[in-house]
Structure 1
């Protein structure tokens, strides 16, 4: 019976097109808030550990968080108030692959209002 299972697995794997990317067992979303935070949500469908990384333009890891294999849903927020304006990369990865998102941090320009009083 184990030979039958092995042949079924081999024939199923031979149907996968190597040019089609493998579907990951997790999904991630992220956005930057007005309060200088990056909010990240990860949802997993298998018990695979996932790592969340934030890198600067020099590929230096600024933040790293491991999500355990037992956690199916995980939400977090990173305070990025102290980081300089610029491009950063957020990566959510496991042993099966990764999702990378470009994050642009910029300080909003405050406009001054001027009042002119005439008498």
Structure 2
């Protein structure tokens, strides 16, 4: 599965109430780290684009919690475009993540053929 992350140009680059770090591994896991710079609750959600508010993952970061590190395994999710949103009362970060399973490449099939041995008089007389 291949994952691609795109930034939304309309979102603020760095929200004032939190800092985030996001990367996706080859093992189809999203690593998200959040550090608060102001007191307040933060909501994290992952949902398919175009699904309204139906989330495949959501979690709240408590008001008194300063840091949070998450690892989301997306290998079981269907191919498509998803939206990861981190939202507080004073800021929001939204990223689009595209999940796609690469086309399976056929493996080279190797056939080894050995021509039959010629029948000679020596082989016939050995019988």
> TM-score with structure 1 length normalisation?
0.71
Runs of 4+ aligned residues of structure 1 deviating over 4 Å after TM superposition are none
Match of 1:64 in 2: 58
Larger Rg: 2
Match of 1:88 among 82, 86, 105: 82
Consecutive unaligned residues of structure 1, counting only runs of 5 or more, are 1-20
Where in structure 2 are the equivalents of 1:1-119 lying within 5 Å? Answer: 23-57=15-49, 58-59=51-52, 60-117=54-111
Q: What is the CA distance between 1:111 and its match in structure 2?
A: 2.2
Q: Tell me how far apart the structure 2 counterparts of residues 29 and 85 of structure 1 sit (CA, whole Å).
A: 24
Q: Tell me how far apart the structure 1 counterparts of residues 47 and 112 of structure 2 sit (CA, whole Å).
A: 53
Consecutive unaligned residues of structure 2, counting only runs of 5 or more, are 1-11, 114-127
Whether contact under 8 Å (2:15, 2:92) holds in the other structure is no
Q: In proportion to residue count, which structure has more helix?
A: 1
After superposition, the CA RMSD in angstroms is 2.0
Whether contact under 8 Å (2:15, 2:93) holds in the other structure is no
Higher relative contact order (CA 8 A, sep 6+): 2
Q: What is the CA distance between 1:25 and its match in structure 2?
A: 1.4
* Secondary structure at the counterpart of residue 61 of structure 1: coil
Q: Tell me how far apart the structure 2 counterparts of residues 114 and 50 of structure 1 sit (CA, whole Å).
A: 51
> TM-score with structure 2 length normalisation?
0.67
